[in-house]
Each structure stands twice: as C-alpha cells, then as structure tokens.
Structure 1
Amino acid sequence: MEKNSPIKICIVDDHRLFLDSLKGLVSSISNFNVIEVFNDGDELVTYLKEGNEAPDIVLLDVKMKRMDGIATCAWVKENYPEIKALALSMEVDEDTVLKMLRAGAKGYLLKDIHPNILEHSINEVHTKGFYYTENITSTLLNSIDGKKSHDGVELKEREIEFLKLACSERTYKEIASEMCLSPRTIDNYREILFQKINCKTRIGLVLYAIKEKIVIL
C-alpha cells in the first residue's frame, strides 16, 4: 500500500442512528475512507464472501442481535487475518473484553470516546496492529526485553505458564487444576503478576501477554 493511500474502513453496528452518525464522523477525517456499512456481522460476512473490496479496518459493535461482534471478529480473524477489527461498545466488563480479545480484536473502545481518540486509535491499529485506551489497562504503555517486564523483573517459567493459561477461557479454579496447584497458590501467582506487570485485572494480564507476544490469540 502506498504511504498516502486512504485507510479503508467498514463499520458494523445494529443501531442505525449511531451507524449513520459514526459513518459521517469517520468519513470527515482526512485519509479515512468508509467503503461500506453494515447492520450486523452477517452482512459483513456476506459482503466479504462475495469478493467485494476488503477493508483495512473494521469498526465492530460488540452487542448485536444477529451475529454479534465476538462471532464476527472470530470469523474475520479466521478468514481474513489481514483485516484488523476494532471493537466498539457501551460496556467494559471484563468477560466481554476478554472474549473480544480472544476473538482477535486489535482494540476495544467505548462508544462515548472523543473523536480525536477514535481517529488516533484507527491510525494506531492500522500502523502498529493494536490500540487500547488507558481505562482498559496502562500495561501497553510499557515494553519488555525478552521475558522481562518493563521494570526489568524477570518472569519465572511458572509465572509465564500461568499467564498463558490466564489468556484462555479457563477459570482460576481450572487453571489451578491444570497446573496441579492449590487455588491459593494460583491467587498468589495472580497477585505477583499484577505487581510485576503493573495492572489490576485479568484484562491487563491478557493485554500484556498479547503485547509482548507471550501468547498469540
């Protein structure tokens, strides 16, 4: 792609008024080209299956009545891995964020964000491959060398094993069973990693693992 080529964008949202408003906003931003909008994931899938022009970025609503954002994101990741999905939602609950990340979302935004943040996030996802706001986690503002955290503290093998399992669908109780450890020991691993990685939630652990390529979702 040429350096100055517009970023091709598709928008998927089942609230028509929001969809039209978002289309107008994104279209007004220099170097953004909204090539199509859809009311649900089924419409996007059909569009791509028919061989139409693929976008660089998909702005994807999470909660939709027909083929929600999680299912749509997973399908896009499987069939068009070059397309980057950026989730849009009114909710920021841990379970939903984790499911979208596991499905392949490269970012997760709340719908009440400032237009400047939306513009920045689209550019970041397009150029760097990911974008997460500080209200999701501050972890991604840091980087590590190899298996070391941003403050130079090395992650032990069992901590890395726990971190990888924390990125799965398993509960903490199931992780304890998988690692042949007690739930209390797993709690200790979690708290140690929270301190080392400087985050407070499982979302933070997952984003850190993705950012540092400890896991590939």
Structure 2
Amino acid sequence: MNPINIIIVDDHLLFSQALNGLVSNFDEFNVLKVLNNGKEVIDYISNNNQQPEIILMDIQMPIVNGIEATNWLKNNAPDIKVLALSMECDEVTILKMLRAGAKGYLLKDIHPNILRHALKEVYSNGFYYTENVTNTLLNSIQNAAPNNVSLKDRELEFLKLTVSERTYKEIAEVMCLSPKTIENYREALFEKLEVKTRIGLVLYAIKEKIVIL
C-alpha cells in the first residue's frame, strides 16, 4: 500500500518541523510539504502540485487562517480531508472549523498515538473526533447514533439550525418560538442523542448527514 500523503500547515516553525518528524516516522504516512499559512495551501493546491489525502491544519495563522483555508478547500478541493490541530479549544472556534468543513479537531497536546489513530480514521472513515476535544465542550459523543432515536420535525429543524452561527435566541426567533421552548428542545435532544453540549449536537447532525457541510 502506498503511503498516505499529508501536508502540514502551521506558522510556528519549531512545532511544524517537530510534527513533520513525528508524522514522517509513521509508516503509513508521507509528508509532502510543510506550509506556513492558509494562503500557501491555496497556492499549492491551485498550482496543481501533488495533492495530499489529508491536511493537518492549524487555525490561528497570518494572511489566511485555517478556517478560511478549510472553507476554500471544501469548495475547491473537496476530496482533501482537513484535520484541525490547534491550541484553540473554545466552542465558537470549533464550531466555525467544523462548519468550514474540517473532518476532525484535535488539540496540540494530544499523545502521538492519538494523532496517528486520528489520521487513519480520517483517511478510512472520513472523520474523527476525540471523545474529549476539551473537558468543557465535548464530554460525550458516541461513535454511532443511539439506537431507536426518533426526531420530530421541529426537533430536526432545531438541530439543523444549531449548525449555523445563530445564537439560541436567534434560533428561537427563526422558529417563532420562545427562548424557553428552545431551551426545552435543546435539553430534550441532549437526552435523546446522549450528548452534553452544542458541539455534540453539531457532530451528531454532521455524522448522521442531517446537515451536509
């Protein structure tokens, strides 16, 4: 089997070089290129260079950040899978990266074995999310949907809207419901889908193809 080609994108030179050395030591993978920011990714792909299967993408970078670059890839090179690798662990950033098309989200302090496993999973299955993106955000996301889940039309409508950038208050306005009713929908879905956060709802919607990004 030919090695899986990887591009690393990170503006911190020491980290990117260390990551290059780490991934290059994984037998299954080959690092094609180490790039400094999203613009370099766009230029590399646009110039018809050898295409990677996976891009390990930092988020906070100059010129073109990881979210912008991932969104560009989704629209221009959708076969390339983006795996976010960042120090950013706030809910807003994670949601933005997922909406941009990232197939996974890892924090930079993960163990090398988890990184290797994540790369394999993204390549084979199309996505990978750790069970704990952070202690406060993603505490319980299942590998498969809970059995016998039946969602009502309004619950599906609410679930689709959670993937947007709207606040819960704005979702209430779109659905012509009170904030209290929206809160009840949210809590009901938390229980039904066995998740604890909005991130969990978003991941469920993506993984079950209720929302196609």
TM-score range, shorter chain: over 0.9
1: CA distance, partners of 2:209 / 2:46: 30
The alignment status of 1:199 with 2:201, answered yes or no, reads no
Question: 1:170 Cα shift?
Answer: 1.0
134-143 or 56-65, which deviates more: 134-143
Partner of 2:211: 215
Contact 2:149 2:193 in 1 (8 A): no
Select which of 146, 156, 159 maps to 1:160. 156
Deviation at 1:66, TM superposition (A): 2.0
Does the 8 A contact of 2:67 with 2:100 survive in 1?
A: yes
| Shift in Å, 1:42 | 0.6
- TM superposition shift of 1:92: 1.3
Structure 1 alignment gaps of length 5 or more: 144-149
1:35 paired to 2:32: yes
- What is aligned with 1:9? 6
Is 1:81 the equivalent of 2:75? no
Query: In structure 2, how many angstroms separate the alpha carbons of the residues matched to 1:191 and 1:27?
Result: 44
Aligned length: 208
Question: Over aligned residue pairs, what C-alpha RMSD do you find?
Answer: 0.9
Q: Secondary structure at the match of 1:169?
A: coil
Match of 1:133 among 125, 130, 134: 130
Instruction: Compare 58-67 and 78-87 and name the one that shifted more.
Output: 58-67
Q: What's the TM-score once normalised by structure 1's chain length?
A: 0.94
Q: Which residue does 2:169 correspond to in 1? A: 173
Off by >4 Å, runs of 4+ in structure 1: none
Residue 7 of structure 2 corresponds to residue 21 of structure 1: no
1:142 positional shift: 2.2
Q: CA deviation at 1:151?
A: 3.6
Q: Mark the runs of 5 or more structure 2 residues left unpaired by the alignment.
A: none
| Contact 1:140–1:211 (CA under 8 A) maintained in structure 2 | no
Mapped partners of 1:92, 1:212: distance in 2: 24
TM-score (norm 2): 0.95
Where 2:211 maps in the other structure, the secondary structure is coil
Q: In structure 1, what is the Cα distance between the partners aligned to 2:184 and 2:147? A: 20
Specify the alignment match of 1:146 in structure 2. none
Q: Secondary structure at the match of 1:139?
A: coil
State the one-letter code of the partner of 1:211: K
Instruction: Check the 8 A contact 1:140/1:207 in 2, yes or no.
Output: no
Secondary structure of 1:141's aligned partner: coil
SS in 2 for 1:91: coil
